[in-house]
Structure 1
Amino acid sequence: MHSIRQLHRSFVSTATMSSKKQGNRKKSSGKSNPSEENKTPTVSAISVNKSGEIVLRIHAKPGSKQNGITDISTDAIGVQIAAPPIDGEANTELVKYISKVLQLRKSDLSLDRGSKSREKVLLVAKDSITIDRTTQLIKTECENG
């Protein structure tokens, strides 16, 4: 004979499995919208946000021998940083280096996201530089790197 506990476990696991199966079904209206399926977000390493600030997506490489921009892709700007990733030293050095490259004050840059990640987002203060000039200076630094 089964104990009440065994019957309860069996009932609960069966009920859980059937509810998961029902939850995974997609309700379809029968109409497909090809414009929604083909939409891929276009992300650029250098862009402007709604506030007018320039957004720099950075892939940081801390602990390098010297600072430098290694590559520019559509996803991020590769930046090697000559500081260890300890106690925010690499973040401070990153802001200092990018401000030097863009010929801006450090106060014109701020770390928006990624303080503990290699993927970072820097914001350049509105009206401090144009996006074209930013792109030009970063490409020049990458080529001369």
Structure 2
Amino acid sequence: MSFLRRDGDDLILDCHLQPKASRDEFAGLHGERLKIRLSAPPVDGKANTMLQAFLAASFAVAKSQVQLESGLQSRQKRVRIKNPGSIPAELQALLPAPL
């Protein structure tokens, strides 16, 4: 299983979130999930909002095209990215096979 997979035109991303980090970045793998560090605190949905904006910018889509499918109050999240414009090079390098 990969942390990133296709579902029609969409991508499903399984990630492990680290809130209150010093910067926003992809940080390799955490088990079978992609580790993402975000500077936002995990209160009042701030980390989820920042995750949505970070992924929208990374995949060249609007924020409305990034939907949190599971893990609203957990570090383990599943995100749907609708019709992504691109896949970041940092993630391509981590994939076992090209998407």
Instruction: Tell me the TM-score range normalised by the shorter chain.
Output: 0.7 to 0.9
Residue aligning to 1:139: 90
Residue aligning to 1:47: 5
Aligned-residue offset at 1:72: 3.5
Q: Percent identity?
A: 22
Higher helix share: 1
| Aligned positions, number | 93
Residue aligning to 2:75: 118
Tell me the C-alpha RMSD between the 2 structures.
2.3
Q: Which runs of 4+ in 1 moved over 2 A?
A: none
Give the whole-Å Cα distance in 1 for the aligned partners of 2:92 and 2:9.
24
Give the whole-Å Cα distance in 2 for the aligned partners of 1:115 and 1:102.
21
The answer to whether 1:100 aligns with 2:57 is: yes
Unaligned runs of 5+ in 1: 1-42
Unaligned runs of 5+ in 2: 94-99
TM-score (norm 2): 0.82
AA aligned to 2:39 is: A
Higher strand share: 2
Aligned-residue offset at 1:139: 1.4
* Larger RCO (CA under 8 A, 6+ residues apart): 2
C-alpha change, 1:138 and 1:72, in structure 2 (3 Å) is: farther
Give the whole-Å Cα distance in 1 for the aligned partners of 2:78 and 2:27.
17
TM-score (norm 1): 0.57
The answer to whether 1:89 aligns with 2:46 is: yes
Counterparts of 1:20-99 in structure 2 under 5 Å? 43-49=1-7, 52-72=9-29, 75-99=32-56
The structure with more radius of gyration? 1
Residue aligning to 1:129: 84
